[in-house]
Every structure is written in structure tokens, then in C-alpha cells.
Structure 1
């Protein structure tokens, strides 16, 4: 009897697991009616089943698809809302919402992804408009009180569900309530007004920085040490003065390379005063509005609201973490600063060391101490060879096989499509696009976009994940090969870590696919994998992929790069901690004098480096207005856990495929089906620790 009951339970769990995701197999027929859309969905890479995203829609097709997406979404929400209370069950409430989410993700990406990559301005503009419409529609759907009440009613019944399905239902309820659906009508009205005002202020903050066009004038003699190509890129006045704007494209290289201390100080001061008055007013209003919104939603402050869904969970945990890290880094930072002061004394005499000197003398020290000729180093990294090396490393480590898809439909001739297979079973796991080269109209940073979620379909088969990696490298010409800077190699390796995280996920629900993990965990897998770039055993392999002659990177360069990874880590981390503490403090308050706070906080963190008069890094710190508010700590947080995984498992045995498979199965495969701490515990076999991070960063 016990065995029979167990088997019945197992059958029930299997049925619910399949029903849980309820993703429609024939998406074009069930999800969106009409021959027009069916035709669009058939326009995919022919002969390569599983790719549903459309990457080459025209402007009119994008807008048409957006309208149909919104119509179908409204239809599903209306049908769920109409379920009578006595008829509420898993199949008529949860299943429709799950299948809608799973099936619409790649359709939405078909509309909004082209704005990042399409060569056609008309297509990009249509994509931007489609995103605006879809975002507005989704916002309305997310505030459907009638749908929330039905979902809440189902959750309250306590029906038996398998763990992932139960997690999905809990997330649905929590998502609705974090938007205020459990608040009174008057409170919801106020919350919506606050959200709209907050969005408006954030956009204005960003626009102020984008539209700011101030510039400084310098003579050639003021810019000694700057590379010739930088000087040639500068506009000139009629009397021959060089025009330097105060955006990062100019300020960053000057603060790193310019030998003239007075010039660096002028540039650093101007950089710290960007949009100072207008963005200070905006930031302080944002702080107050976010606090009010959080209180209306039932939280003590905005940081508490923002952190509820993160690994850290509470502001206290974050502040404790940041203060511990600041204390740990202090001893190293003081020693590092003294080395920099000694260098400045040798080069400029007894003038005091200021924040304008930090980047320049760190760069000088690294060049002197590690003896790396960066121009020469680039010749070890032809972009094509780096790509082959990267793909081979990930294949061998994670038990994967990448096959280039010939004749695939792509959005530009430079784009390649690869299929991903399990190297042992030959099971198809997904696809990824690689779009590496600079062109007009393309998104300007290296990043990864999930294009199609991996999840179970209603018939028990798996919808394959699809991702795209975007970069802006120069393209090799016949007589002019393109080489990457080492920093670009590391970034490329890091971002491809996001690709394999998305592809290797085995979640049942679209909501838990791949990169949907907590925001303060999403960088951990990629940061762990980028550590391979600093290991000699991995670096030396790149030479075997060079087209001309086998050129292994010399041992002394590999050692120098490894040492450089730790160089001035205390000071660099202190700079990050400064802004993270500022972010956390302002979002645990209702009103803040941000200028006074920054002036008080800066000397406590950046011990020994005076703050320039009338400057504040906060008014140009985009993380405060682009979705990372109260969670800026996550980058340092991620480094701690990435270091723990790498040092505990891979250091000294970095290409061990057995460990790689454990990593794939225990860290990448779960996606967001488990809490991040549980994922780390499963892989490490213990609670995560700071020990490896502290040893790496202070040694």
C-alpha cells in the first residue's frame, strides 16, 4: 500500500510538473490567432527547430506583432479574472499565466531586440515604439486587481504543488503585492502617481547627463602623455586650443594618462561638478518619493523594499557587509596609497596627492611594477583567435558542443548563430548569436540579451533557450587584423558566462529560466568564469588558435597579468564601497542633504585622499536612477561568492571537466528555481565564506 501510494504521488508530481509550465507547443495557433502572425513566426532559421524568435522583422511587422502581443495578453488576463471563486483551480488560473509568460517572452524580444542591433534606422525606431507600447501595456496588466484576487484565492487554498510550481505561485502573489495590489484603492492611486513621478525624474537625471555639453580648453602642452590618436580625435578652436568634453569618453583617458597634474585636477573637478545643481535637486526628491512609496507598500524604507527579493534580504545585512569590506580593505588601501604618493613625489615633487591623481598613478605603478607592454600584449589577442579559444574553453569545461549554423537568418552579415549540444548525449540545449563588430546604430556596450527562455512545454518537451552576445570590436581587414585589449578579453569571457548560464538552465518555468536569478547573484557565475583569463594554463592555450604561427604567451606575462588582477585592489574596492554606502544610506532615509552626506562619507572611506571642492560623484552616478538603486552593493557582493567558488573548486585545476560539469549541473542548471544561497551551498558543500575573497584581495 505504501509503495502504491508513493507511485501515485510520483505520477501526480510528474503530471503537475508538466502542467505547471503549460507552455503552448503550437504558439502561433494557440497564443496569437491570424495568418499574418503565423507567417511571421515561420520566418525563422529554417531547418533549425526550436528557434521561435524572429530576428529580421520589418518596421511595420514589429508594430503589428506588438499589437497582437498586447491583445493576446489582455485576453488571457481577462479570462483569468473572470474565473468564478468556486471554480478557481491550477489549470484555469496559474497555467494560463505561466504559458502566457513563457510564450510571449520571445515574441516581445522579437519586437524590442532590434532597437539594439538593427542596421535599419526605421526598424530601430519601430522597435523603440513597440517597447514603449508593450511596457505601458504590461504595467497596466501588472496592476490588475481582479487578476491578483483570483491568484491570491488559489494560493490561499493551499493545493498540493511540486516545489517549482509552488515557488511560481508564491512569486506571482509577491509580485502583485510589491506593486501595491493588496493596498487600498486610495493608496494604490498614490503609489501609481509616485511611480510615474519617480520614472520622470530618473529620465530627467539621465537626460541632463546626456545633453550636458560643457567642455574645457587646453593647449597641447597641457595634455602631455596622452596617446596621439586621442589628441587627433579632439576638436579644435580657431586659435588651436583643444576641446575636451567632461563626459567619460574624454575624462577617463585623461585621468589615466595625462602627465600634467594641473590638467588632471581641472578635469577631475569638472567631472565631479557635472549637473551638480540640477541633479542634486532631482536626487533628493527621488529619495523622498521612493521612501514614501516604500512606506505605502508596507516597508520601513526603500532599501528594505528593494532588498526583499535579493540574496542579502535586508539593509542591515548590506550595511554590515559593506562596513566589513571597508574595514578589511583599509590596511591594504593605506599601503597602496603610500606607494602612489611616493610615485607622485618622484614625478611631481611635494605637491599633495588628490583624487585626481588616483587613476594616473595606479596606471603608472602597474606599468612599472609589472612591466606589461599593453600595445605588444594586444598582439596575442586577435579577435578571431580569442573567439575560438573562448568557445573551446567553455565547451571543454562544461561538457558542451558548439556548432556554427550555416545559412542561418541573422540581422547582419557579421552575425553568427551557434547551436549548443550536450557533448555526451548530443541533446540539443539551445542556441546563441554572436554579434561582435562595431557598426552605426548598434548598442555601444558588450552585453548579453536572452532572446528566448528555456522551459517545459505543455506536451512535456523543452522549449530551447536562445541568447545573443553583443560587442563592439573592430573588424579585421585583410591587411589590418583586429586585436583586443586584455580588459576586452576579460569582458568577453565574462559576458559569455551569461550566455552559458542562460543556455544551461533547466528550469520548468519561463519565470525561472537562466538569468532570472536574484540580481545580487546574477553576476556571480560570470565573475567566477572570468577568473580563468588570469590563469596561465588557460591563457597559454590562446596561441594555438592564432592563424599565423603558434605563439604561446610568455610565462612572465601570464604571471604579471595574475599579479595585476590584485593590484591596488584595496583602493579600487574602497572607491566602489564609497558609492555603495552612499546608495544604501540615502535609501534608508526619507530626506537627505546629499552634498553634506557625501562630504562626510568620503574621508571616512577614502582615508588620506581629500575630496575636491564642490564635487560629488553622486550626481553623475547612473546606478542611482537606472534600476540599481539600493542594490549597488551587488557587484562587490558577487565578487565575494565568485572568489569562494573559484578558489575552493577550480584554482590549480582550472580546466577540470569533471568540476566543470558539477558547476554546470549545480550552479547553472537550476536557474532561479532555488534561492542563490541554496545553489551555492549545493555546489560548495558548505555555507559560502568570505575567506577566499579576503585572501585574494589582501595578499
Structure 2
């Protein structure tokens, strides 16, 4: 179990910044960056040390300030701070765009890149730094004429503005609805505790928001279809102002790709991925969709039969399956076929015990020791802070934060921000990494602590996987640290660790009843594990839909793709559920499309192939508690970051090239079937 102590001075970042502090730091970063680039451009002796090292060191030193002041827009309770953080991000991204358009800097970078003798003297990571900096300049348009470069710079600046506005709208544009207790039939008692109420025509109503701890339970548990439908519509009509922002972004991305000589934005993006081409992505998506088709048909037939039965019992006609039915009837299938429910399971998943247990797993697997800090300097009272040390000896590794509960104007999903990368300082000392996990798990109630569903616990394992990818990475340059890997590999380490939530021996370590303290019964664990692949066909088809929608809008050679039509048609074709008669614009809150996953959403399923192979080949065979396997994983997958290609790391860890057999088996498919 993590220890606690009082924080030593000088080891943390300052989150108590005012709006003025943020603005001043942003200006200082721009000024310092400008000076470094001017100095580099003025060099006459063009070597790695005079040109490349200062540019790499600038990213090393300034990333922490950059990440800190832009992170606060997602978590601060102060509107002025959030606004200043957003404004700072716009300013800093605009400067970075300008920086990548500097011909004078590219000239000296290219001179080093073209100097075979100089390159031959460099170590592997230094040589890679030269190659990636040169590539970044080239992909920013430095080979274009002045007019085209100017237009590209304006496009990138506008895209930065659109991204920030889109994210701010999602964070601050929560929907709400007031529903009576009768309308919320099926929700557990703890859902109503401490919940805000309002009068609805003389009847007490409960305020339900579109934040995950409200949205997911209602869509999963509410027995009344009209209740699920109303909340789905509220969620699906959020942020209409984001549709034109996304539409403009799609058009600008295509224009930028064309300027750089690519046919589509996806072609441009995928050049740096493991997949390499849109054709490879589409072949992957189509092949998996084909394999899942029959399974999806069987699952749909089961859900339709359940809803038909419910309609007949209620004396009303069967209207078909709608998007607001997906979570409800998928959950009903688990309950009816496996005699298991979230309400039963979550009694054994109090958030503190689950967090403690999962941190213990990571400590043992990665040979680390975590120390919880007393009264830490954080951005909100709910946030916990942990130091990370080597399990043996007194070597410090880094620290991380956990911000697990929802609040107004906070980031609405679950994600990890690598706030500071680790890197080597010129004097040989080490800068230590910092990461923050942000989630929206249910809060404690008057009668019970915060209780997680099994899905929540799996999310916690996944996101902490991103945390420790950042913490355990050990690279010379921040540019290659941690999760700065190929976009279609970055999820694989975290996805691999989700498997621990299905291991009976692991579950029994931390799943205890929140009242009695008794461990989760073996019979319940067995039912839970047996239900693992229930609905796997439709769940994976849903992921294919998101990836195919992404490709539809980003691999098109047309700049006027109809977002709503593309979304609605693909959803109904692939996911099999109807969106109903309502005018919705679900893509308005599909944050991945404006949050760095454009032409990259396929990566979630793509990287699942690698995660399943790593788990099945090494951890399942060697034992999930095998310390050498854990160390190999830390040293060969997490430690290198992007200092080498992900495929090289995979082949070293696996002892062979990866394949998809374990993945197909993990979702109940025959790897040998056509």
C-alpha cells in the first residue's frame, strides 16, 4: 500500500497561478523561445551541439511550463484562470507554428542533417533527434514557396484556435434535465443521495447532467425508454456551435495536406504512424468488421428479442432498437444471461480500495514504490499527489496526481496529461517526469463511499497505464519521452493493463465489500469473467464505427463533407441502432476529432492487437506476478518511449513479430476463420 509523508520542497509544480501569472509565463516562453531560435539561426559552425542540442534543450526546459499553464483550462474552478489558460495555449501554439516556419532555422538544421560525418558521430537518440526535427520542419512546409508557406501558417494558427474553442465548449457545455423518481425507475438508491432537486409541476424532480456519473447509469439502468431517450437527446444536442468549428477544421486540414503534396489529411497524418497509409487502416477496419458481422447479428437478435418482450409485457408495439437502447439492453443481456449487475458488483469496488489495490499492482509489476503526499500543493482539494521511487534503494523517479471526481467546468471524460517529461540535463543530472490523471468517477454519498463499476475500475487501470508510461520512460530528450510515441501505438501499453481487471487472483486483492470488508466472492468473480465477452461484437463494431467516421471525414478529397450525414449513416450501418427522429449532432462532442486523434481513432483497435499479444505471450504465459516479466515490460516497452520505433520495442519484448491471434481470441473470434 502506498505510504504517506510530507512533501519535500522543490519537487513539485505550482498550480496556484493567477490569470496574470499565466499570461506572463506564456509571454516569457515566447521570448525565450525566440531568443534560442535566433541564436541557432546565427550559428556559423553547424554541428549537433551548436544547432540541434539547443533546440532539443528548449523543448526539455520549456515543456513543463507550457503543459502546466495550458492544463489548467481543463481543471481549474476559476473562470478567469481557465480563460487565461486557453488564451495562453492559443498564443503558445501560434508561436510554435511560427517557429516551424522559420527558413533560417531550417537551413542550419538541414545542414546538420545532410552532414554524413556529423551524423555518423552521434548516438542513436541524438541522431533520431536530428531526423525528427528535420522531418517536422519539412512537414511544416519549409520546402514550399513563400506564398504557400504563409497560407499554411495561417491554416495552422486557425486550426489551433478551433481546437481550443471546441474543447472549451465541450468542457463548459454540459446538458441537464430534471426527472422524477418514477421516471428514473431502475436507478439505485445511492444515485439520488445528495442530488440536487427541482420542482416539476408540483412533483420533486432530480437534476441529471450529461457528465459520465449521471449519463452512463441512466442510459444503462433506467427502465423507462422515454427517460433514456430524453437524456440521450440532451446529450446529443450539446454544443451545436462545435459543428461549424469541426467543419471548418476538416476543410482546413485538407487544404493543408494538399499544399504539402498529399491527397488527403489522413494520408498526411498516417505517414508517421505504424499503419503508414489510409489503405492499411481501411483494410484493417473492413477486415475486422467482416469478422464481427455474424457475431453482431446474433447479439442484435438477442437484444431485439429482449426489447420485444418488454414491449409485449407493457402492451405497446415494438418500435425497433435505438441508440438510447444500446447500453440498457447490453446491460440487460449481462444481467439475464450471467446473473450479474453493476449494482451488485460495485458494492465490492470502493474507489479508495480499488485505487490502493491497483497502485499496489503497478508497484509490484514495475518494481516501484509510491508515497502519497500529505497536504500537497494541488489545483483542487479532491486531488491526491504521489511520489514515485525505485522499490529498492532511494532513487527518485517522478510524481503523479489523481483528480478522480466530477465538478462543474472540469474536463468531462478520463485522460492523462504528461505535465513534465523526464530528460537529461547538460550537467548530467536528471529532470523527473510528472503526470496527472483526470477522471469523472462517482462521488461518495451520505450512505456509501464512492463506488466504481467494473468498467470504471478497468478505466482506472487503463489511465494509470498512461501515467506510468510517462513516469517509467527514460529518454535523453523530452521529445521522445513516454507517450510521445506513434499515435497508433500509444494506447497499447494501457490497453494491455486492462487485462488485470479480469484476472480472478488480482480482483480478490482489492475488490472488497465497502461495508463488511469481505473480499469479492469467487462465484461473483466467475460470473463477471464469464460475462467479459458478452456484447463484444457490438462493442467492437462501435469502435469500428468511430474509426470509420474519422476516416470518412479525414480521408476524403472533398472539403465539404457533411458531418451529420456521415455520422448518422455510418452509425446506423455499422452499430445497427437507429438514431431516431431527433435532430442530433453527436459529433459536436466527439472530442477526439479535435483533440489529436484526427485520422487516428482507428489506433484504439489497432493497438489492441499489440496489447493482447503482449499480455497473452508474456504475462499470461509467465504469470501476471512474474517480476522479471514486469521489469522486461518496463525496460523494453515503457522506458524507450519514442527513442526507438514501437515495432522494435514490441519485437524485443515478444521475441518475435506481433500478430493478431491473441486479439481475435480475446474477443471470442477464431483467428483461423476467414
> 2:36 matched to 1:76?
yes
Q: Judging changes above 3 Å, is the alpha-carbon distance between structure 1 residues 271 and 469 closer, same or farther for their aligned structure 2 residues?
A: closer
Answer with 204-213 or 436-445: which moved more. 204-213
Answer with 158-167 or 345-354: which moved more. 345-354
Q: Judging changes above 3 Å, is the alpha-carbon distance between structure 1 residues 251 and 658 closer, same or farther for their aligned structure 2 residues?
A: closer
Tell whether the 8 Å contact from 1:332 to 1:698 is kept in structure 2 after alignment. Answer: no
Counterpart of 1:111 in structure 2 is: 69
Match of 1:102 among 60, 74, 92: 60
Tell whether the 8 Å contact from 1:507 to 1:673 is kept in structure 2 after alignment. Answer: yes
Post-superposition CA distance 1:456-489 (Å, at most 9, x none):
2212232222223334556769975333332222
Give 1:662 deviation, angstroms. Answer: 0.9
Counterpart of 1:32 in structure 2 is: none
SS of the residue corresponding to residue 566 of structure 1 reads coil
Post-superposition CA distance 1:406-439 (Å, at most 9, x none):
5754445554443322223543222223444556
Name the TM-score, length of structure 2 as normaliser. 0.86
> 2:111 matched to 1:153?
yes
Give 1:207 deviation, angstroms. Answer: 7.1
Post-superposition CA distance 1:584-638 (Å, at most 9, x none):
122222323455545654454245x455346664455333333322111111222
Q: Judging changes above 3 Å, is the alpha-carbon distance between structure 1 residues 549 and 655 closer, same or farther for their aligned structure 2 residues?
A: farther
Match of 1:684 among 647, 654, 657: 654
Counterpart of 2:461 in structure 1 is: 493
Tell whether the 8 Å contact from 2:171 to 2:412 is kept in structure 1 after alignment. Answer: no
Q: 1: CA distance between counterparts of 2:173 and 2:364?
A: 48
Counterpart of 2:283 in structure 1 is: 320
Match of 1:187 among 126, 148, 160: 148
Give 1:129 deviation, angstroms. Answer: 4.1
Q: Judging changes above 3 Å, is the alpha-carbon distance between structure 1 residues 183 and 52 closer, same or farther for their aligned structure 2 residues?
A: farther
Counterpart of 2:483 in structure 1 is: 515
Unaligned runs of 5+ in 1: 1-44
Tell whether the 8 Å contact from 2:172 to 2:410 is kept in structure 1 after alignment. Answer: no
Give 1:649 deviation, angstroms. Answer: 1.6
Q: 1: CA distance between counterparts of 2:66 and 2:171?
A: 28
Tell whether the 8 Å contact from 1:288 to 1:590 is kept in structure 2 after alignment. Answer: no
Post-superposition CA distance 1:22-79 (Å, at most 9, x none):
xxxxxxxxxxxxxxxxxxxxxxx97466x36334445544443333222211110110
Tell whether the 8 Å contact from 1:52 to 1:452 is kept in structure 2 after alignment. Answer: no
Counterpart of 1:588 in structure 2 is: 555
Give 1:336 deviation, angstroms. Answer: 1.0
Q: 1: CA distance between counterparts of 2:570 and 2:283?
A: 16
Give 1:651 deviation, angstroms. Answer: 2.3
Q: 2: CA distance between counterparts of 1:217 and 1:440?
A: 17
Within 5 Å, give how 1:548-587 maps onto structure 2.
551-587=518-554
SS of the residue corresponding to residue 630 of structure 1 reads coil
Give 1:370 deviation, angstroms. Answer: 2.5
Post-superposition CA distance 1:510-548 (Å, at most 9, x none):
11111111222111111111210111110111158x898
SS of the residue corresponding to residue 380 of structure 1 reads coil
Give 1:322 deviation, angstroms. Answer: 0.5
Larger Rg, first or second structure (1 or 2): 1
Q: 2: CA distance between counterparts of 1:503 and 1:172?
A: 24
Q: 1: CA distance between counterparts of 2:167 and 2:58?
A: 33
Tell whether the 8 Å contact from 1:114 to 1:127 is kept in structure 2 after alignment. Answer: yes
Q: Judging changes above 3 Å, is the alpha-carbon distance between structure 1 residues 585 and 410 closer, same or farther for their aligned structure 2 residues?
A: closer
Give 1:583 deviation, angstroms. Answer: 1.6
Q: 2: CA distance between counterparts of 1:675 and 1:151?
A: 22
Unaligned runs of 5+ in 2: 1-5, 670-674
Q: Judging changes above 3 Å, is the alpha-carbon distance between structure 1 residues 131 and 259 closer, same or farther for their aligned structure 2 residues?
A: same
Answer with 317-326 or 455-464: which moved more. 455-464
Tell whether the 8 Å contact from 1:112 to 1:130 is kept in structure 2 after alignment. Answer: yes
Tell whether the 8 Å contact from 1:213 to 1:245 is kept in structure 2 after alignment. Answer: no
Give 1:450 deviation, angstroms. Answer: 1.9
Tell whether the 8 Å contact from 1:503 to 1:514 is kept in structure 2 after alignment. Answer: yes
Within 5 Å, give how 1:639-650 maps onto structure 2.
639-650=608-619
Within 5 Å, give how 1:171-250 maps onto structure 2.
171-199=132-160, 224-226=185-187, 229=191, 233=196, 235-238=198-201, 247=210
Counterpart of 1:257 in structure 2 is: 221
Counterpart of 1:89 in structure 2 is: 47
Q: 2: CA distance between counterparts of 1:55 and 1:203?
A: 20
> 2:25 matched to 1:65?
yes
Answer with 615-624 or 672-681: which moved more. 615-624
SS of the residue corresponding to residue 698 of structure 1 reads coil
SS of the residue corresponding to residue 437 of structure 2 reads strand
> 2:497 matched to 1:529?
yes
What RMSD over aligned residues (CA atoms) do the two structures have, in Å?
3.4
Tell whether the 8 Å contact from 1:287 to 1:590 is kept in structure 2 after alignment. Answer: no
> 2:623 matched to 1:663?
no
SS of the residue corresponding to residue 649 of structure 1 reads helix
SS of the residue corresponding to residue 449 of structure 1 reads strand
Name the TM-score, length of structure 1 as normaliser. 0.83
Give 1:381 deviation, angstroms. Answer: 2.3
SS of the residue corresponding to residue 416 of structure 2 reads strand
Give 1:290 deviation, angstroms. Answer: 2.2
Equivalent pairs counted in the alignment come to 649
Post-superposition CA distance 1:276-299 (Å, at most 9, x none):
7x7666655543332221010111
Post-superposition CA distance 1:84-130 (Å, at most 9, x none):
3xx21111101111111111112333433444445655555544444
Q: 2: CA distance between counterparts of 1:420 and 1:217?
A: 44
